[in-house]
């Protein structure tokens, strides 16, 4: 199949779905863009994560090298903590908890949006189904059941939008769930990192 024929089939498919296909397309593009960006960010951060001991060693060296060699969330916590920590372990623990919570919020960013868009897509498909059936009944009321071509247009709109909504929703839910699990694991690593960081700075003050 040539690209030209494939393009014509896609155009026909979108035209058959009616006006609901445009918002479904926008939702799909936004959802996939966010999922790809978030997935690449998780992959990059995971590769650059270091132990608290290694982070402190890098921080004692050149700051620019340290920042480039660490995950962004590790650098943010490390630099802020070493700048603001005091001699009170309880206060330091509370400070680290606050910093960690801010990073956890960043880790979860966009995942809720991806899941929300995945939930909206089948609802838009259902709206297209209802619109297509209304069109079909209008044709029946005006022309009866003898005009098969006119009936096919409304039925096609109903089926195509339903199919498109599910095609957008199912991968979105899978991606959203996968990214949510990655974020939860990162939050666990953040907690362990903060515990180790406080332990290392108390045992060996910077």
Position 206 scores a pLDDT of: 47
pLDDT for position 129: 86
Residue whose pair of structure tokens reads 């959802």 in the numeric block: 31
Q: Whole-angstrom Cα distance, residue 178 to residue 172?
A: 10
- Round the CA-based radius of gyration of the chain to a whole number and report it: 26
Q: Which residue has the tokens 């619109």?
A: 131
Among the ranges given (13-27, 39-53, 74-88), the one the predictor scored with the smallest mean pLDDT: 13-27
17 confidence band (pLDDT: 50, 70, 90): confident
Nearest-angstrom CA–CA distance, 113 and 110 = 5
Report pLDDT for 18. 76
Tell me the two tokens of residue 183: 């974020």
**Rounded Cα–Cα distance for residues 198 and 89 (Å):** 8
Q: What is the pLDDT of residues 64-114, one digit of tens each?
A: 667 788 999 999 999 999 999 888 889 999 999 999 999 999 999 999 999
Q: Tell me which of 78 and 1 has the higher pLDDT.
A: 78
Q: What is the pLDDT of residues 180-204, one digit of tens each?
A: 999 999 999 999 999 999 998 886 5
- How many Cβ atoms sit within 10 Å of the Cβ of residue 20? 23
CA distance 131 to 80: 55
pLDDT at 8: 74
pLDDT digits (tens, 9 = 90+) for 100-143: 999 999 999 999 999 999 999 999 988 888 888 887 777 777 76
Distance (Å, rounded) from C-alpha 23 to C-alpha 5? 24
Which alpha helices (DSSP H) does the chain contain, by range? 3-17, 21-48, 52-60, 63-69, 72-84, 89-108, 111-143, 148-203
pTM listed for this prediction: 0.83
Torsion of CA 168, 171, 173, 176, to 10 degrees: -120
Q: How far apart are CA 130 and CA 147, in angstroms?
A: 20
pLDDT at 193: 95
Contact residues for 119 (Cβ-Cβ < 8 A; gap 6+): 169, 173
Token pair of 178 as six digits: 């996968």
> Residue written as tokens 């089948």?
122
In this prediction, residues 26-48 reach a mean pLDDT of 95
């Amino acid at each position: 199949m040539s690209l030209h024929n494939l393009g014509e089939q896609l155009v026909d498919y979108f035209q058959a779905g009616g006006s609901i296909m445009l918002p479904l397309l926008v939702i799909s593009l936004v959802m996939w863009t966010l999922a790809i960006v978030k997935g690449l960010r998780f992959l990059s951060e995971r590769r650059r994560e270091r132990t608290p001991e290694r982070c402190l060693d890098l921080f004692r060296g050149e700051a620019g090298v340290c920042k480039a060699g660490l995950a962004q969330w590790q650098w943010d916590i490390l630099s802020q903590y070493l700048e603001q920590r005091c001699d009170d372990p309880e206060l330091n623990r509370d400070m680290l908890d606050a910093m960690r919570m801010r990073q956890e919020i960043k880790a979860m960013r966009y995942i809720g949006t991806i899941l929300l868009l995945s939930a909206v897509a089948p609802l838009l498909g259902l709206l297209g189904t209802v619109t297509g059936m209304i069109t079909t009944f209008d044709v029946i009321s005006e022309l009866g059941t003898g005009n098969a071509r006119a009936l096919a247009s409304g039925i096609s709109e109903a089926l195509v939008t339903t199919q498109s909504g599910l095609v957008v929703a199912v991968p979105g839910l899978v991606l959203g769930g996968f990214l949510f699990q990655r974020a939860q694991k990162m939050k666990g690593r953040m907690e362990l990192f903060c515990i180790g960081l406080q332990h290392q700075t108390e045992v060996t003050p910077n």
